[in-house]
Structure 1
Amino acid sequence: MNLLPRPVSFTPGDGEVDFDGAFRVERVDGPAEGYRLSVSPDGVRVRASDDAGEFHARQTLRQLSGPAAFRAVPPGVVRLPVCEVVDHPRFAWRGVMIDVARHFLPKHDLLRYVDLLAAHKLNVLHLHLTDDQGWRFESRRFPRLHEVGGWRPDSRFGDRRSGGTAGRPHGGYYTQDDLRELVAYAAARHVTVVPEVDVPGHSQAAIAAYPELGAAGGGVWTDWGVNPNVLRADESTVDFYRHVFDELLDVFPSEVVGLGGDEAEGGDGRFVRRIAQHLAARGRRPFGWDEVLDVGPLPTSTVVASWRGEERGLRALDRGHDVVMCPEEHVYLDYRQSDHPDEPIPVGTRTTLEDVHRYEPAGADRVLGAQANLWTEHLDSPRRLDYAAFPRLSAFAEVVWSPAGPRDFAEFRTRLAAHHLPRLDALGVEYRPLDGPRPWQTLPGVPGFPR
């Protein structure tokens, strides 16, 4: 069996059959996003619970067709093994957060990541659009947000304690039309784009554009870490952000909308509550990092992302909130992948491929699901993002899709090396090889801060 993520069941048959891309489809009752795929001498048949299930069956057929099927110009007729696959996801939320605020990811690479998520049967792209270091969402009502907040004069290079800088400006933003295009492209691949505008902390880019918003002034931040300058909690600032979020809602149809709420030193919880209430009044579900549990009563529809371990996520469940598990010690994919001295900018705790594959979300029978997070302070290009994400993201996909139960890492690693890495090669993904970085993937002399 060469499929990844591992399906609910795979029953091999005898022989192979020619496949030209055509198959029969019918709708049947079953789990959401589920399907049954039958390959026989009579042809290929898919029985799917819904459109998403049919799409996932297509991804399985693509895998069965061999690595060449992942190229921009796939082969014509291929040979498929006779088999039957029964499959459906374990979790409804199978997400990836990409931080495009610290380092801007060009639109074509963002679209490429939608394809990579879809190929792994992941279904949520959480976009961290704003932070101290950049504002990436075009605001037509407040254009200085992207015109000023979208650019910084320099960037810290390597760990902030070293004092090193890149010595070049950085920036960019997505127009609303860009983001509508992204949303439509993702929807066609059954991926939901969840936007996030972070308040009241991580807001220096907005404050640089409109100084009256902040407790103190200053430009777009060129450093990493936690900035003590937060948004003012007066009503005029809250009104400003109500308008910003209304623009966001006009672009993103996602039911869930992120408001951040994290690492706000001295931040006012009333700000978070009022924005959460505004989103709920607009028929959306607020989505906040686990610090939002400390700001007082929130709409019960609020979704909590548990990143500082999982205990706070369990507490949120007890309070009646839906939860997405994303604990930093397990699924922060910007963290270093080994203790090898050639790992580029080694930060955070060591998080190996095996560590990700053996992750088991706490409260698995109660949570919405889980997501892997890619913070980009030290991922300043699509090549660096690929290196951090893959193949660990392939392991994470198996965690959130495949059935619960013991996982055999040795079997997974064999399947990955023999079958899935060639697919990533065909897609042009510059992943980290299993035995360590290639020479051009290292960054000699650039300091990190491993924990």
Structure 2
Amino acid sequence: MIPRPQLFSDLSASSVLTSGVTVSGDLVDPVRTALAGLDPLPGDSGEIDVRRDPALGEEAYRLTTGSRGVEIVAGGPAGAFYAAQSLRQLLPPASFRFSAGASWPIPGVRIEDAPRFAWRGLHLDVARHFFPKREILRLIDLMALHKLNRLHLHLVDDQGWRVESPAYPLLHEVSSHRPRTATNFHREPESYDDLPHGGYYTLDDLAEMGAYARSRHVTIVPEIDVPGHASAILAAYPAFGVTGEPYDVLDRWGISPAILSPLPPTVEFLTTIFDEIIGALGETPFVHIGGDEVVLDHWAESAEIGAYRDSLGLESVNDLQAWFLRRLADALAERGARAVVWDEAFVSGRLRQDTVVMPWRGMGVGRRAAAAGHDVVATPVFPLYFDYAESSSPDEPMAIGDATTVEDVAAFEPAPADWTEEERARVLGVQAQLWTERVPDARTVDYRLWPRACALAEVAWSGTASPGFDGRLTEHLARLDALGVEYRPAAGPHPWQRRRPHRPGRVPVTEVMARIDAMTYDAESTRPSL
């Protein structure tokens, strides 16, 4: 079973679960949702009995199977849902395929379980390459199976804007597509595929995705990354920039100097965007506002922005960036949402105390954020950037670096033992990132995420990979096969998964980490440097 429960004991009796099984009790709906492929039915009395126990945590549950059927006791709807997901994993892998009138043996077991971390996340960059709604809904289902509960959608970057805006329609009319895409990844001379790429989610799509996720106890965390990474926004509305110069949606990769102005009209613009996204998604407890890789040169060169900075009593453009992000966080707080930022924003200082920090550059800066009283979600490049290859083999499809393995993910500690108790208490959880410069389609998403995300699920739920993880993962892959997940085989990619056109070469992960360690965002600098 992945993730492995806290307590798992075998019982002597067993039973059989049939298609059309009845579910009765206090928390019927989440159980029926989790068992949707088995076509469960409501009933006054049934083979699955569900009861609520307020003494348990919201996500905690007890599951007992035996001759009397299935008994679930849960602290709330999420706990009942996770109990049903555990029940599914007790069934044979064939039960994950659709079939009518089937019956499945259930071993007798007793499970007592609750998660170690509240934030168990996956990040998907839909800005660099767009993935339609059907792929998001499928990913939510796969996350739910693994008890992952935060889907972080990176909705905007230099290479595209991905959500409808009635108030600013040029965002989805102009900024949602680019005429071509770079294929050589930072190598000279530049080369392009000359194929238009684009797409965006309507607000109705966003509403459906939000409701679908909530029904599976997944929270969508939308990201509008500002003030940098702004080429796509400025392609539609250059007035929100500093110079007023025209921009194009970027067709290459890397850090861009494009930056939004920090003046009040930009804050009003972004507040309107937040209202549209929050209104569509529904319950939105977290909104990510980025704050990473910001080149502040245009701010430093602008007399108007300099005067505005002076009027606020701020000494530097770094202080102004921190003020800008705090103003956006204040606007989100007024709408019932907490701001989330990448770690550069924390280094700039002046964040709201309730802002969540994602330390992508390593757990060292994460510890600093926790010590400063910020909640932290562990997101370090190594081992949680899944756009890195899983081996250094030339058969691997193109990737930014190598190698980050399943074993590396399984060995990760989101709340390191050498942190203080207070610092560890600030770790909300853990999240893996999939950036998509080198992930052009949904099949590659499968290859990059799975089975590394299985190891992530184990760590996020249990705090560490439990003994026997490798053997349990081997058995679990049969479930992914039944679900049609095109994961990376342990022996390496299938021939059709290699896909090596325009092979760019890769940087070893040790060299990448050395560059990240050398990255500076100090008070004297206006640009990120490597």
Tell me if both proteins adopt one fold, taking TM over 0.5 as the criterion: yes
What residue in structure 2 maps to residue 435 of structure 1? Answer: 491
Cα distance change of structure 1 residues 187 and 26 upon mapping to structure 2, 3 Å threshold:
same
Give the CA deviation at 1:9.
1.2
CA–CA distance in 2 between the matches of 1:74 and 1:5?
A: 28
Asked if structure 2 preserves the Cα contact closer than 8 Å seen for 1:302 and 1:322, the reply is: yes
What residue in structure 1 maps to residue 480 of structure 2? Answer: 424
- Where do 1:102-141 residues align within 5 Å? 102-141=128-167
What residue in structure 2 maps to residue 34 of structure 1? Answer: 60
What residue in structure 1 maps to residue 346 of structure 2? Answer: 293
CA–CA distance in 2 between the matches of 1:52 and 1:395?
A: 21
What residue in structure 1 maps to residue 389 of structure 2? Answer: 336
- Point out the more displaced range, 153-162 or 123-132: 153-162
**Matched AA of 1:235:** P
Give the CA deviation at 1:101.
0.5
Asked if structure 2 preserves the Cα contact closer than 8 Å seen for 1:159 and 1:345, the reply is: no
2:50 to 25, 42, 50: 25
1:351 aligns with 2:404: yes
SS at the partner of 1:161? coil
What residue in structure 1 maps to residue 249 of structure 2? Answer: 220
- Where do 1:370-381 residues align within 5 Å? 370-381=430-441
- Where do 1:244-393 residues align within 5 Å? 244-252=273-281, 253-266=283-296, 268-269=320-321, 270-363=323-416, 364-393=424-453
- Point out the more displaced range, 208-217 or 186-195: 208-217
1:447 aligns with 2:526: no
Q: Deviations over 1:320-346 (max 9, x none)?
A: 211111001111111110011101113
Give the CA deviation at 1:77.
1.9
CA–CA distance in 2 between the matches of 1:403 and 1:10?
A: 17
CA–CA distance in 2 between the matches of 1:339 and 1:333?
A: 14
1:208 aligns with 2:235: yes
CA–CA distance in 1 between the matches of 2:191 and 2:466?
A: 42
CA–CA distance in 1 between the matches of 2:469 and 2:285?
A: 34
Asked if structure 2 preserves the Cα contact closer than 8 Å seen for 1:280 and 1:299, the reply is: no
**More relative contact order in 1 or in 2 (CA 8 Å, sep 6+)?**
1
Q: Deviations over 1:277-311 (max 9, x none)?
A: 21122222111111111333222111111111012
Q: Deviations over 1:363-418 (max 9, x none)?
A: 544311010111111101000100000000001100010255x744xx2222111x
CA–CA distance in 1 between the matches of 2:415 and 2:176?
A: 37
1:414 to 461, 464, 471: 471
Give the CA deviation at 1:167.
2.1
2:208 to 165, 181, 184: 181
SS at the partner of 1:160? coil
TM score, norm. by length of structure 2? 0.81
**Matched AA of 1:373:** Q
1:239 to 256, 268, 283: 268
Asked if structure 2 preserves the Cα contact closer than 8 Å seen for 1:286 and 1:303, the reply is: yes
Give the CA deviation at 1:158.
4.2
CA–CA distance in 2 between the matches of 1:217 and 1:314?
A: 41
CA–CA distance in 1 between the matches of 2:118 and 2:100?
A: 30
- Where do 1:60-75 residues align within 5 Å? 60-73=86-99
- Point out the more displaced range, 304-313 or 386-395: 304-313
TM score, norm. by length of structure 1? 0.95
CA–CA distance in 2 between the matches of 1:160 and 1:72?
A: 45
**Matched AA of 1:424:** L
What residue in structure 2 maps to residue 396 of structure 1? Answer: 456
CA–CA distance in 2 between the matches of 1:138 and 1:315?
A: 37
**Matched AA of 2:252:** D
Q: Deviations over 1:220-263 (max 9, x none)?
A: 00011111111122222222112112212212321111111111
CA–CA distance in 2 between the matches of 1:377 and 1:74?
A: 41
SS at the partner of 1:280? helix
CA–CA distance in 1 between the matches of 2:357 and 2:398?
A: 30
Cα distance change of structure 1 residues 25 and 304 upon mapping to structure 2, 3 Å threshold:
same
Asked if structure 2 preserves the Cα contact closer than 8 Å seen for 1:273 and 1:296, the reply is: no
**Matched AA of 2:15:** V
Give the CA deviation at 1:14.
2.3
Cα distance change of structure 1 residues 19 and 138 upon mapping to structure 2, 3 Å threshold:
same
CA–CA distance in 1 between the matches of 2:84 and 2:256?
A: 46
Q: Deviations over 1:127-146 (max 9, x none)?
A: 11000000001100000011
CA–CA distance in 2 between the matches of 1:54 and 1:281?
A: 32
Structure 2: stretches of 5+ with no match in the other structure? 22-46, 300-319, 417-423, 509-530
Asked if structure 2 preserves the Cα contact closer than 8 Å seen for 1:94 and 1:370, the reply is: yes
What residue in structure 1 maps to residue 25 of structure 2? Answer: none
- Alignment RMSD (CA, Å): 1.6
What residue in structure 2 maps to residue 56 of structure 1? Answer: 82
